[in-house]
Amino acid sequence: MQTIEDAIIIGSGPAGYTAALYMARADLEPLVFEGFAWGGLLQQTTDVENFPGFPQGIVGPELMQHFRDQSERFGARLETDDVTAVEFSPDASEPHKVWAGDDLHLARTVVLAMGAEHRKLGVPGEEELSGRGVSYCATCDAAFFKQAPTVIVGGGDSAMEEAIFLAKFAAKVDVIHRRDEFRASQIMLDRARQVPNIELVTPYTIDEFVAREGSSLTHAHLRNTVDDSTRELEITGAFIAIGHDPQSELVRGQVDLDDDGYVVTQGRSTLTSVPGVFAAGDLVDHTYRQAVTAAGTGCQAALDAEWYLRDAAPFSSEARAAQA
Ligand code: NAP
């Protein structure tokens, strides 16, 4: 008979590894599918200066290595493999099914922690200069652009928030937005307009990011979306803030998602629409999207799952005996 795991965790950012740590310490020996690109969005960042406990800062990949090591130390079983399909039992009358390729795994509880991805512009130079001038997180990287000419791309609340933060460091912040109307709330727009070194540049898109000297960003080519005219901006920092996409395709049709594709959880818990399936981190979070908040909800998911196993005892030997 196939083993039924107490817990399978899908994802390996701060939420996934924190859930793994807590479940491992509860002796649940969680099976963690950390994926081939383990570590989540922090693997793409340089210095992380806002994660509590590291007063000198720490680079993102090193922080994720600590998360990983700590969960493993207490018995989390890490599989560097991608989950390819899931089939959850809607009423938890059967164990939940998780496939990695042809390998089927059964579980009493599943924690979803696949995170989100920064939406990409998809223009030449963006990928090549990522980490060398192009960034997706002003909160993380603004301090590296002291007195620099910079741009923020986007017209939503994130773009305004990032611009206001970046403007404390940079010499100039041009907010490049493709329309004359902004999606950002009036209050955020007003705040941005009041900052003297922020300029709203519309209606423009970025055609290309360029490194003219050496290997770091020096210029952006802009195109007017109405009259097609072009212009060039000299910049050393560009922050893309055009939204996030939760990585929820794997579970679409299995748990409830909201209109933007985020997994819906019940109240302040991490419980999804399916008993025994929990979700944490950026997969759920529209708003905060910080490593520390993702870690916090990973902890909540582990505790919610632990309590569920204790109270519902799905497929435990006691439950089987009671059914017999
Ligand atoms: P958003 O509201 O979806 O805005 C994304 C912006 O990026 C839009 O202006 C959009 O332009 C632009 N955009 C999208 N794809 C683009 C592309 N390929 N090229 C150029 N521009 C593109 O996303 P968000 O700003 O990340 O906000 C997400 C949610 O979090 C919102 O509900 C927001 O209110 C909330 N939030 C709130 C706060 C706060 O209250 N302090 C802070 C941050 C976020 P179009 O408008 O033309 O579509």
Atom 28 (ligand 1): residue with closest C-alpha? 243
Atom 7 (ligand 1): residue with closest C-alpha? 242
> For ligand 1, is residue 286 a contact (CB within 6 Å)?
yes
> For ligand 1, is residue 168 a contact (CB within 6 Å)?
no
> For ligand 1, is residue 164 a contact (CB within 6 Å)?
no
Atom 40 (ligand 1): residue with closest C-alpha? 157
Query: For each of the chain's 324 residues, which pLDDT tens digit applies?
Result: 789 999 999 999 999 999 999 999 999 999 999 999 899 888 866 678 889 999 999 988 999 999 999 999 999 999 999 999 999 999 999 999 999 999 999 999 999 999 998 899 999 999 999 999 999 988 888 999 999 999 999 999 889 999 999 999 999 999 999 999 999 999 999 999 999 999 999 999 999 999 998 899 999 999 999 999 999 999 999 999 998 899 999 999 999 999 999 999 999 999 999 999 999 999 999 889 899 999 999 999 999 999 999 999 888 766 666 665
pLDDT in tens, 215-263: 999 999 999 999 999 999 999 999 999 988 999 999 999 999 999 999 9
Report how far ligand 1's centroid is from the alpha carbon of 154 (Å). 6
CB atoms within 10 A of CB 308: 21
Report how far ligand 1's centroid is from the alpha carbon of 65 (Å). 31
Q: What is the pTM of this model?
A: 0.77
> For ligand 1, is residue 152 a contact (CB within 6 Å)?
no
191 HSE (CA, 13 A, CB side): 16
Atom 4 (ligand 1): residue with closest C-alpha? 156
DSSP secondary structure of 270-299: -B-SSTTEEE-GGGT-SS---HHHHHHHHH
Residue 324 has a pLDDT of: 58
Angle between helices 186-193 and 157-166 (to 10 degrees): 30
Residue 79 has a pLDDT of: 97
The answer to whether the beta carbons of residues 116 and 158 sit under 8 Å apart is no
Report how far ligand 1's centroid is from the alpha carbon of 199 (Å). 18
Catalytic residues: 137, 140-141
Residue of 41, 153, 158 best suited for mutating to test ligand 1, as the one with most atoms within 8 Å of CB: 158
pLDDT in tens, 62-95: 999 999 999 999 999 999 999 999 999 999 999 9
The answer to whether the beta carbons of residues 79 and 69 sit under 8 Å apart is no
Give the Cα separation of 302 and 297 in Å (integer): 9
